[in-house]
Amino acid sequence: MLRNAGLWPWYPASYRPRAVQPRGDLAADEQSTIEIFRTAAPSVVHITSMSLQRDWLTRNLLRIPEGTGTGFVWDEAGHIVTNYHVVAAGSSFQVTLSDNTRWRARIVGGEPEKDLAVLKIDVPPNKLRPIPLGTSADLQVGQKVFAIGNPFGLDHTLTTGVISGLGREIPSQGGGTIDGVIQTDAAINPGNSGGPLLDSAGRLIGVNTAIYSPSGAYAGIGFAVPADTVNEIVPQLIQYGRAQRAVLGVGLFEDEMAQRVFGVEEGAVIAKVYNQEAAFEAGLRPPYWGEDGTLHFDVITAVDGKVIRRAQDVAKVLEGKKPGETVSVTLLRDGQEVTVSITLMPLRQPLR
């Protein structure tokens, strides 16, 4: 008892707990980071994607977890923004809020070309805190950024870093590319997908979507869809269920096929012209054999004066244009240059 009280004269000091040294106030940048997390964390949610499978013994349908990801509260109506690839394989979804309450969610819309999707939960507005929205238009390399997500199921994990690059291009879930992507060294791991990337004011500047890593784990390079793209696409998904992309109404051959079959080094070879679409009305043609045995085909070489060198360039030129706008399309047809005007039409596609 005397030893426990520290009164035994020869009781070694190393046997007793050491005194705690006062640390003083937190550094200003630490206080700022803590405040950013405290403010933004209630807006971040955990998403579980599930699929239906039948038990071969009981023949009952079971909900099997398909994967997890992150999302964030967009508005008080219960719309949740996440990545398209987080929900693409699921048939039902569960959203866990910051207070650990779980809510069944339904998909409202998705845009694979931007890797964005919107879910909806029916929750009292007072349980929802929409994330503050910033802009990606004035970002600079070197700015501090903060990522909040659920990597490996560890909910509300905060990682920090800087903007490492701007204007990057990454493959999209729809087979095209996402332009203007933000590159960051803030740690982004499996489960972070769909979570917010924040600036030092705690505003949303991007949606974490992908990492570059040979192993699949964090390797210092992460990517986020810019906030201005998110702010353009999400309202369309809420209203229409899909992005209102303007299209010509044609299918294009892949560049390798265009070169191998048609000998076209530059330009986009038209593979199909959809009936009742804009290109059909303008007289664009798919490949066909003439009576003399000659293969005829149209090659798009420019749209609104912008040179088309490969098939993906067509979608890039149409980026930001609206259905109903008119564009000038330059074609190479049987060795002759032809220019036609086409009124763009909305893309007709399923919700998912």
List helix spans (H) across 220-311: 227-240, 255-262, 278-282
- Of the candidates 46, 164, 193, 313, the residue annotated as catalytic is 193
DSSP at 13: G
Q: Measured between alpha carbons, how far is residue 196 from residues 19, 62, 103, 123, 207 in Å?
A: 41, 32, 20, 21, 5
DSSP string, 101-158: -EEEEEEEEEETTTTEEEEEE---GGG--PPPB--STT--TT-EEEEEE-GGG--SEE
- Of the candidates 46, 49, 115, 136, the residue annotated as catalytic is 115
Let me know if 292 is a catalytic residue: no
Q: Measured between alpha carbons, how far is residue 326 from residues 134, 186, 277, 314, 341 in Å?
A: 32, 42, 13, 14, 7
Q: Which H, E and C letters describe 41-72, residue by residue?
A: HHHEEEEEEEEEEECCCCCCEEEEEEEEEEEE
Let me know if 156 is a catalytic residue: no
Neighbouring-strand partners of residue 340: 329
- What is the distance between the alpha carbons of residues 328 and 340, in angstroms, rounded to a whole number? 6
Q: Which of helix, strand or coil describes residue 239? A: helix
Q: Which helix (H) or strand (E) holds 247?
A: strand 246-247
DSSP at 47: E
- Of the candidates 85, 136, 155, 255, the residue annotated as catalytic is 85
DSSP string, 301-340: EEETTEE--STHHHHHHHTT--TT-EEEEEEEETTEEEEE
- What is the distance between the alpha carbons of residues 303 and 270, in angstroms, rounded to a whole number? 14
- What is the distance between the alpha carbons of residues 253 and 269, in angstroms, rounded to a whole number? 6
Q: Known catalytic residues?
A: 85, 115, 193
